Chain A
Amino acid sequence: MATDPSASIALRVNGKDVEGRAEARTLLVDFLRDTLRLTGTHIGCDTSQCGACVVHLDGVAVKSCTVLAVQAAGREVRTIEGLADADGSLHPMQEAFRQHHGLQCGFCTPGMVMTAIELAQSAEPLTPEHVREGLEGNICRCTGYHNIVQAVLAGAAAMRQ
């Protein structure tokens, strides 16, 4: 049982054991950004619509604005900061977004990439239609969807190599 005002939460983030204090009502996205200072995960709408805050919780894409930090205790979180290699070389999905200009203002990009990586892991071959359906929960207000879809297809192909 975690009681307010705050309790210590231990979890694994991007392969490292971390610990921080959070109230029961603290959202995972706020814990990542404000406590762990991992500000790559964005808050777009804060109402579970836009997907800018998508991270992987035990390997599953979730909207971190709609998960409590305490629900991630003892579990594994992967954020956009955890994708590139230590030497700075980009994850294939990040590289594909770069190559295909899959971003305009870039605000939605962290969530797009995290969702795309889960999508690329599905067993079925990806078509543009699958990608568009798979990105239903990620909103790009620049409306740059065409290049995002191209990037996801290329990134998924690269991940499968």
Chain B
Amino acid sequence: MYRFTYHQPADLDEAVQIASSSEDGSYLAGGMTLLPTMKFRLASPSDLIDLGAIEALRGIAVEGGRLRIGAASTHAEVAASALVTERLPALTGLAGRIGDPAVRNRGTIGGSIANADPAADYPAALLALDAEVVTNRRTIAAANFFTGFFSTALDPGELVTAVRFAVPAQAAYQKAPNPASRFALVGVFVARHADGARVAVTGAGQFATRYPAFETALDTSFTPAAVAGVTVDEAGLMTDLHASAAYRAHLISVMAKRAVAAC
């Protein structure tokens, strides 16, 4: 990788200040995507601002009826959290099946969503659980956060500090993992909220999105048969060496049925 200057700020203000004064700085969370990307020289930040020492980014708590997960919480911490297991077991299961154990020991929720990989697991959970992304500047509704292929609503230098999830009556996540990378070929998160069902899909298109047709069907009848009756259009889905758009469309239907059955 190319040379850069390494910083380890002690608090948020210092981190943001370094980012704003650096030529082309990048925040470093778990580094599970950024460091490999730098090794390939696909990214070459002038400065790396390591968030690992910032206490304010840690911690999992219930806050105003929502589950608040600090941005620097690792996937392993979320998977092992008694609080998450009690309130949102579907999220425990999701976090516990990201990548592999060593990746889960380093990778963080904030890093994952800021990276916005189209096949990452968390984006589906954020959309289906009506999450709020808290940054150092504002709160962004998950619906407005993911804006495209590896794109988010974050401004340059803006830093995710936490994610706040709504806690539904029932929820489940099912994914067909890529057998090599464990990224989602297709992942479907289903949540049954007091005001209706929310269904979000990751891995299939340019970025994670909700599937209103599934939601309407589930609001009529919250059963696997209801989602089985919805035709999934392959238009707009990805075709790559791992799967065709038609296969992904089929997987969306299968994973949606399984997720509803697991609720």
Interface residues of A (CB under 8 A from B): 1-5, 23-25, 46-49, 51, 54, 60-63, 66-68, 70-71, 115, 118-119, 134, 136-138
Chain A residue nearest in CB terms to B105? A60
| CA of A63 to CA of B6, assembled, Å | 20
| B7 within 8 A of partner (CB) | yes
Q: Is the CB of A66 within 8 A of B31?
A: yes
Q: Is the CB of B101 within 8 A of A118?
A: yes
Taking CB atoms, residues of chain B closer than 8 Å to A138 are 100
Taking CB atoms, residues of chain B closer than 8 Å to A1 are 5-8
Q: Is the CB of B35 within 8 A of A62?
A: no
| CA of A70 to CA of B50, assembled, Å | 10
Q: Is the CB of A137 within 8 A of B2?
A: no
Q: Is the CB of B101 within 8 A of A70?
A: no
Chain A residue nearest in CB terms to B106? A62
Contact pick for A24, options B6, B31, B76, B103, CB 8 Å: B6
Interface residues of B (CB under 8 A from A): 1-8, 31-32, 35-36, 38-39, 48, 50, 52, 76, 99-103, 105-106, 180-182
Q: Is the CB of A115 within 8 A of B101?
A: yes
Chain B residue nearest in CB terms to A24? B6
Instruction: Using A1-B7, A25-B3 as known contacts, say yes or no to A63 and B39 having CB atoms under 8 A apart.
Output: no
A-B contact pairs, 30 of them (CB 8 A): A1-B5, A1-B6, A4-B5, A23-B3, A24-B3, A24-B4, A24-B6, A24-B48, A25-B2, A25-B4, A48-B103, A49-B181, A51-B100, A61-B102, A61-B105, A62-B105, A63-B102, A66-B31, A67-B106, A68-B6, A68-B31, A68-B48, A70-B6, A71-B31, A115-B101, A119-B101, A136-B101, A137-B100, A137-B102, A138-B100
Taking CB atoms, residues of chain B closer than 8 Å to A137 are 99-103
| CA of A60 to CA of B50, assembled, Å | 18
Q: Is the CB of B103 within 8 A of A67?
A: no
Q: Which of A2, A51, A119, A134 has the most CB of B within 10 A?
A: A2
Chain A residue nearest in CB terms to B35? A66
Q: Which of B2, B8, B38, B180 has the most CB of A within 10 A?
A: B8
| CA of A71 to CA of B38, assembled, Å | 16
Chain B residue nearest in CB terms to A138? B100
Q: Is the CB of B4 within 8 A of A48?
A: no
Expressed in whole angstroms, the minimum distance between the Cβ of B8 and any Cβ of chain A is 8
